[in-house]
Structure 1
Amino acid sequence: MAEILNSLTTDDSVNKVLQGVSESEEIAEDILGDRGLIVELERRKNALREASRALERGDGDKVWILNGPFFVKMKTKDARDLIRRDTQNISHEVESIRNKLKVKVDKLRDVENQPNLKGFNLKPLSRNELAALGTTPRS
């Protein structure tokens, strides 16, 4: 029985299968980590959106902002600009992660010998392209 197990573990085809499974598991873990990171960044972006709305409704020249481990008192206009910049940075980071995620999903499907997803790499039309078609973007 031990001889049979030894011959199976040394077989090249078994090693290739194990290598393929471990590679696909590694890529899948990367994909799940990226998805979790996107969820966390979207939560942070939503908190910034809530803060922005609170600043719009509030009145006063200065507000307290939590910046890292410190509370800082700053002008409302500066706080709005800070929140806007943070929101834009998070949006760019999420977009970057999503683009990398598409590549990782394609790589995973290649490792698993599955066909690539159709329509997965589509990009929306720009405003200029929509104008050329004679349609207007939805708000």
Structure 2
Amino acid sequence: MEEVSTEALMNVVVDVEKLGDEIIADRYSIIDMDRIRNKNREALSAIRKPSELMKKEEHVWMNIGDLFIRTSKDQLGAILDEDQKYLDNEINKLRDNLKPKVAKMNTALGKPEVKGFDLQRLSKEEMDAVRQAMG
């Protein structure tokens, strides 16, 4: 049987731990960004379908950190839409980078490659084409 040096074994363990930490950090980042995205979606819904009280108001209050700003509904909607696009892009980047990290960690651990794990989601255009084909 082939002898594995302690140093080589430690290097593998350190690499696996680093990858594991990166994977966990990325997953927590995705969760945090998703929470923000959901709050933004709630705010967008509230200003686009206002209640009786909000119909009278042209301006709304917005909280950014410890700062309250009064702005128009249209401007707030534009800010939130831009923030949603940014969050969507960042979440997608993290998700796309997560798959190779998990595959690399599994390889380092000697686990077999997970079949179907590297599947890519359909784009909006592809989904539209599928819907048209389905009727």
Q: For residue 44 of structure 1, what is the aligned residue in structure 2?
A: 36
RMSD: 2.0
SS in 2 for 1:119: coil
Q: For residue 79 of structure 1, what is the aligned residue in structure 2?
A: 76
SS in 2 for 1:134: helix
Work out the CA distance in 2 between the residues paired with 1:83 and 1:95: 18
Structure showing greater Rg: 1
Identity over aligned pairs, percent = 27
1:6-31: CA deviation from partner (whole Å, max 9, x where unpaired): xxxxx852222221111101110110
Query: Measured at CA, do residues 124 and 86 of structure 1 come closer, stay the same or move farther in structure 2, by a change above 3 Å?
Result: same
Work out the CA distance in 1 between the residues paired with 2:21 and 2:90: 19
Query: Measured at CA, do residues 12 and 125 of structure 1 come closer, stay the same or move farther in structure 2, by a change above 3 Å?
Result: closer
Are residues 1:33 and 2:22 paired?
no
Work out the CA distance in 1 between the residues paired with 2:123 and 2:38: 25
Number of equivalences: 126
Runs of 4+ in 1 over 4 A off after TM superposition: 127-130
- The alpha-carbon deviation at position 34 of structure 1 amounts to 0.5
- The alpha-carbon deviation at position 129 of structure 1 amounts to 4.2
Work out the CA distance in 2 between the residues paired with 1:128 and 1:66: 36
- Could you state the TM-score of these two structures normalised by the residue count of structure 1? 0.80
Bigger RCO of structures 1 and 2 (CA < 8 A, at least 6 apart): 2
Are residues 1:116 and 2:113 paired?
yes
- The alpha-carbon deviation at position 125 of structure 1 amounts to 3.2
Work out the CA distance in 2 between the residues paired with 1:61 and 1:72: 14
Query: Measured at CA, do residues 106 and 85 of structure 1 come closer, stay the same or move farther in structure 2, by a change above 3 Å?
Result: same
**Which residue identity is paired with 2:122?**
L
Runs (5+) with no aligned partner, structure 2: none
Work out the CA distance in 1 between the residues paired with 2:25 and 2:114: 21
Are residues 1:102 and 2:102 paired?
no
Work out the CA distance in 1 between the residues paired with 2:100 and 2:109: 14
